[in-house]
Chain A
């Protein structure tokens, strides 16, 4: 069974802080994704990666960056947290190809005060 682990379930940070959200998957999946989930807006793609050291912008990359130094780990970085980045962040992984389902982590609820 695929396991996608996010390092924190809840996180509270101050405006302007640099924030790291970590995600690790144990199924050797090539693809990894970061989404944010807000009520009524569904899941919006921030960044994704199809391979180590590779990254692509999703629909809402502004204010975020990512790092993928190892295949199993995909980190989301908020360079300078702002209150409008308060949200639920979900990491996902999948096999390559257009027919593979996403496997999600449990999410990190980030509050920026």
Chain B
């Protein structure tokens, strides 16, 4: 079945440093979604990418969808303590099934 791998599993950064999490699918995706889960909270939808090579920005967050629609990344510029949480990618295949990656837990030292 479809597999979605996400790396790294954990990342510690100093406040102000940049952060990137990568997502790779074993199959071509029709779209990819990103979610953020704060400690003790539930996943909250951030964004969806649909087109090959698409880049979207939300303030300090930059999301990319690969040309082959099999990988994606989330980059945070100048992290803040409010960025702490676990970031999940979720890839949707042609059969309309959504598969989540294992998540990247971001910890930010003030």
A110 to nearest B CB, angstroms?
A: 15
Given A41-B102, A42-B88, A44-B100, also A107-B42 (CB < 8 A): yes
Q: With A and B bound together, what is the CA distance between A108 and B42 in angstroms?
A: 10
Whole-angstrom distance between the Cβ of B21 and the nearest chain A Cβ: 12
Q: Can you name the residue of chain A whose Cβ is closest to the Cβ of B42?
A: A104
A101 at the interface (CB under 8 A from B): yes
Once A42-B100, A42-B102, A43-B100 are accepted as A-B contacts, the answer to whether A102 and B43 lie under 8 Å apart by CB is: yes
Residue in chain A with minimal CB distance to B41: A106
Chain A residues, Cβ within 8 Å of B41: 106
Distance from A41 Cβ to chain B, minimum over Cβ atoms (Å) = 6
Is B45 touching A101 in the complex (CB atoms < 8 A)? yes
Report the interface size class on chain B.
Answer: 20 to 34
Partner of B88, one of A43, A99, A101: A43
Asked, given contacts A41-B102, A42-B6, whether A59 binds B45 with beta carbons under 8 Å apart, the answer is no
Asked whether B55 is an interface residue with its Cβ less than 8 Å from the other chain, the reply is no
Interface string of A22-48 (1 = CB under 8 A from B): 000000000000010000111111000
Give the Cβ gap from A106 to chain B, nearest Cβ, in Å.
5
- A45–B4 Cα distance when bound, in Å, is 13
Add 6 more A-B contacts to A43-B100, A102-B98 (CB < 8 A).
Answer: A40-B103, A42-B103, A43-B88, A98-B92, A102-B45, A106-B41
Residues of B with Cβ closer than 8 Å to A? 1, 4, 6, 9, 30-31, 33, 35, 41-45, 48, 50, 88, 90, 92, 96-103
